[in-house]
Amino acid sequence: KIAIFWYRRDLRLHDNAGLYRALKSGLPVLPLFIFDKTILDKLENKDDKRITFIYDAIIAIQKELKKQDSDILVRYGAPLEIWKDLIEEYDIAEVYTNKDYESYAKERDGQVKDLLSKNGAELKSFKDQVIFEKQEVLTGQNTVYTVFTPYSRAWKAKLNDFYLSSYPTEKYFSNFFKTKPNPTPSYKEIGFIETDHAFPDENVKSDLIEKYEENRNYPAIPGTSRMGLHLRFGTVSIRELARKASEHSQTYLNELIWRDFYFQILWNFPHVGQGKAFRADYDKIKWRNNEKEFELWCQGKTGYPLVDAGMHQLNETGFMHNRVRMVTASFLTKHLLIDWRWGEAYFAEKLLDYDLSANNGGWQWVAGSGTDAAPYFRIFNPEAQAAKFDPKGEYIKKWVPELNSMNYPTPMVDHKFARERCLKTYKEALDNG
């Protein structure tokens, strides 16, 4: 009999909650990763860099496992079908995994749990992705927080060393299932192309975290940690990062708390991840949804340099600085009155650090429809934002080199006009509520 550890968005061997429990079970542990066809089929770019990132992470795990005469099993297909095969192939007593809070994952895990239990095996899942999940942080009235500042206060009050300590998996590495190397499906077999391997380093310098507060708002400075991608796929442990944060920077810790905050919002209010506004009233807004204007925004041809710079950075690298995410998102929803869901989907396709909870949270915050949103009459002025956060125009010059040429477009919409139009449209929708 064996235990299987099912990897999903926790692609590391060290400090991994579910893997630790599996290794301590006393059963030989076979690690598994499924390239989920349902998810992959939805990705339009066949040279999506996130696939290369996942492969790299699997290869890194494989290398370590070889030292234990073990290997990771990698399969491609629909998870439920793969599990049916595995039940035939192995004598499975238990399956360990880490919790995934998205609706799709909840449904998938429910089906796999049922299938396994019909076949005498148990699916056990653990909290690994966040410090506090679901309803661990509640108000005095036992309700879920929907405003960040009091949530973060309660989060910090609950924090202690227990929640930050690592799971020492390495003590039990000898418990991996001994097996010959397993064949891994190729890029071609799963329908993708290998890309370059230039990803942010997984070690954040303490120095960067110490200067985080000072630098984080200036997109020309590499002053943020670039941990988004690693946290998304679990190549870095949130506990390790939160430990570093609490030693070196409360401001940085606060950003990690935002991450937990949006995970618990998604869990407790799943409608936000299913195309609905957190505040139902905001679904009455009559978006203009002009497709040509949307295209200009996507291509970074709005005529507003900071917006265009952000979109070029996103299109070329799969990353955009947080300050500029706010400005580009605000421009789309408020200046162009295009449904935030269009922008959300575009970011989902392009951002390497794309995460449903944070992306949805960010978009709804900007659109005003979300939790903890700034009042809707606060509309970013893209020129004022550029003057404040890119005062020397370095970021803009880097990403919009054509700025001073004849080819650079004039602004696609006047700021003052757009502002008035937005206020009117929002007011009409919300006053009738």
- The site for ligand FAD (CB under 6 A) is made up of 216, 224-228, 231, 255-256, 258-259, 262, 322, 325-326, 329, 347, 351, 353-355, 358-359, 361-363, 366
358 phi and psi, to 5 degrees? -70, -35
Separation of CA 347 from chain center: 11
322 as an active site residue: the answer is yes
365 as an active site residue: the answer is no
Query: Of residues 342, 363, 365, 399, which has the active-site annotation?
Result: 363
Q: Binding residue per annotation — 260?
A: yes
Query: Of residues 340, 342, 365, 399, which has the active-site annotation?
Result: 340
Smallest distance, Å, CB 347 to ligand FAD?
Answer: 5
> Is the Cβ of residue 95 or residue 306 nearer to ligand FAD in the bound state?
306
| Dihedral angle computed from the Cα positions of residues 90, 91, 97 and 100, in that order, rounded to the nearest 10 degrees | 70
> Is the Cβ of residue 194 or residue 349 nearer to ligand FAD in the bound state?
349
Smallest distance, Å, CB 150 to ligand FAD?
Answer: 17
Is residue 302 within 8 A of residue 412, CB to CB? The reply is: yes
Q: What's the rounded Cα separation, in Å, for the pair 323 and 389?
A: 8
Query: Of residues 102, 258, 349, 381, which has the active-site annotation?
Result: 258
363 as an active site residue: the answer is yes
Q: What's the rounded Cα separation, in Å, for the pair 356 and 358?
A: 6
Residue 320 gets which letter from DSSP? -
Helices (H) and strands (E) in the chain, counts: 21, 5
Q: Look up residue 396 and give its two tokens.
A: 């803009």
Q: Binding residue per annotation — 151?
A: no
Smallest distance, Å, CB 238 to ligand FAD?
Answer: 8
Q: Binding residue per annotation — 338?
A: no
Residue with smallest beta-carbon separation from ligand FAD: 362
Q: Furthest-apart CA pair in the chain: how many Å?
A: 70
Smallest distance, Å, CB 380 to ligand FAD?
Answer: 11
131 phi and psi, to 5 degrees? -80, -50
> Is the Cβ of residue 97 or residue 371 nearer to ligand FAD in the bound state?
371
Query: Of residues 133, 240, 287, 349, which has the active-site annotation?
Result: 287
- Alpha carbons within 13 angstroms on the beta-carbon side of residue 52 total 13
Q: Look up residue 104 and give its two tokens.
A: 């799709």
Smallest distance, Å, CB 231 to ligand FAD?
Answer: 5
Q: What's the rounded Cα separation, in Å, for the pair 242 and 264?
A: 17
> Is the Cβ of residue 23 or residue 311 nearer to ligand FAD in the bound state?
311
Q: Binding residue per annotation — 259?
A: yes
> Is the Cβ of residue 34 or residue 358 nearer to ligand FAD in the bound state?
358
Q: Binding residue per annotation — 122?
A: no
Q: Binding residue per annotation — 41?
A: no
**C-alpha torsion sign, points 251, 354, 196, 53:** positive
Q: Binding residue per annotation — 252?
A: yes
Smallest distance, Å, CB 230 to ligand FAD?
Answer: 8
> Is the Cβ of residue 130 or residue 418 nearer to ligand FAD in the bound state?
130
- Alpha carbons within 13 angstroms on the beta-carbon side of residue 107 total 5
**Nearest-CA neighbor of 335 among 275, 294, 392?**
294
Binding-site residues sit at: 212, 252, 255-262, 353-355
- By annotation, the residues acting in catalysis are 255, 258, 287, 322, 340, 363
Binding-site residues for FAD sit at: 212, 252, 255-262, 353-355
